[in-house]
């Protein structure tokens, strides 16, 4: 077994029984590294750059589920609309509408998560809880039939203060439950909370994450 396969198996054993989905974040790693993870049974991969995603998609086996986890510009949606399985970081109604438009052209429904800005860093993207509530109350999203809103995604602050990380994830979990009962009570697909990376996935799971996005712990440093 290679180092990547050993790390992947250890992580899988740890997640076993939790019901948490593992997105193997493979950005910046060569296709050979993804192939090793694939050969060990991993099928869900996360990428955050459009060109790299498209190159890997054409090179690797077709049964891979590609998740786009990075910040996405509206003009790039068209490049992935035919094959992307889930888009994690939808941060505006404008982007959601463009995903809907491109998915419609491809005759598909694309699963999306709405990104919540919760971290203290200025640079992070996403809706604030208030912006999210406003966007959902305004209702235009309900007319979009080629996107399926499956839940929320967030990134916690990059800090050693684990209590703060707990607080941030908990806040998003509470928001998730709140939004679900207000707007998605009949929508079974609204069930995913994408939170947790290599440094904070254990905290995220303890706060209710259903999907972790883990890169360096599997593939090593970049
Ligand atoms: C790179 C990245 C990850 C994975 O980070 P690691 O610390 O390598 O596990 C998760 N989520 C997003 C949005 C990323 O860009």
Give the C-alpha separation, 143 to 194, whole Å.
24
Task: With CA atoms as reference, report the closest residue to 100 among 143, 154, 57.
Answer: 143
pLDDT of res. 221:
83
pLDDT reading at 194 higher than 70: yes
Give long-range contacts, CB 8 A cutoff, 24+ apart: 57-63. Answer: 57/83, 59/31, 60/31, 60/34, 60/35
Domain count, the chain: 1
The mean pLDDT of 181-209, rounded to a whole number, is 98
Residue 61: its pLDDT value, please? 98
Tokens of 180: 């679900």
Say whether pLDDT at 123 is over 80: no
What CA–CA distance (Å, rounded) separates 182 from 175?
A: 10
Flag whether pLDDT at 124 surpasses 80.
no
pLDDT of residue 208: 98
Contacts of 33 (CB under 8 A, 6+ apart): 4, 26, 219
Mutate to test the pocket of ligand 1, among 23, 47, 48 (most ligand atoms within 8 A of CB): 48
pTM, rounded to two decimals: 0.97
Q: Is 70 exceeded by the pLDDT of residue 125? A: yes
Range of the domain at 7: 3-219
Closest ligand 1 atom to Cα of 25: 4
Burial class of residue 125 (count of CB atoms within 10 Å of its CB; 0-12, 13-18, 19+): middle
**Mean pLDDT over all residues of the chain?**
97
pLDDT at 120: 80
pLDDT the model gives residue 222:
67
User: What's the token pair of residue 9?
Assistant: 């198996």
Q: Which atom of ligand 1 is nearest to the CA of 69?
A: 13
2-21 pLDDT tens trace: 999 999 999 999 999 999 99
Mean pLDDT, residues 58-83 taken together: 98
In this structure, what CATH number is given to the domain that contains residue 181? 3.20.20.10
28 lines ligand 1 (CB under 6 A): no
Quote the pLDDT of residue 97. 98
pLDDT at 121: 76
């Amino acid at each position: 077994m290679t180092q990547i396969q050993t790390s992947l198996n250890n992580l899988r054993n740890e997640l076993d029984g939790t019901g948490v989905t593992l997105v193997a974040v493979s950005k910046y790693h060569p296709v050979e590294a993804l192939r090793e993870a694939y050969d060990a049974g991993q099928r869900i991969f996360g990428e955050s750059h459009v060109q790299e995603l498209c190159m890997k998609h054409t090179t690797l086996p077709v049964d891979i589920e590609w998740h786009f986890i990075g910040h996405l510009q509206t003009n790039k949606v068209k490049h992935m609309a035919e094959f992307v399985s889930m888009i994690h970081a939808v941060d505006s109604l404008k982007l959601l509408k463009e995903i809907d438009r491109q998915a419609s052209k491809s005759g598909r429904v694309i699963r999306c998560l709405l990104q919540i800005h919760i971290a203290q860093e200025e640079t992070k993207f996403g809706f604030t809880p208030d912006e999210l509530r406003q966007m959902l109350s305004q209702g235009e999203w309900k007319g979009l039939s080629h996107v399926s809103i499956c839940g929320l995604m967030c990134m916690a602050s990059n800090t050693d203060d684990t209590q703060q990380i707990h607080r941030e994830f908990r806040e998003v979990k509470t928001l998730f439950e709140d939004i679900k009962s207000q707007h998605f009570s009949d929508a079974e697909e609204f069930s995913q909370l994408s939170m947790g990376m290599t440094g904070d996935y254990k905290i995220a799971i303890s706060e209710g994450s259903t999907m972790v996005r883990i890169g360096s712990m599997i593939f090593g440093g970049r």
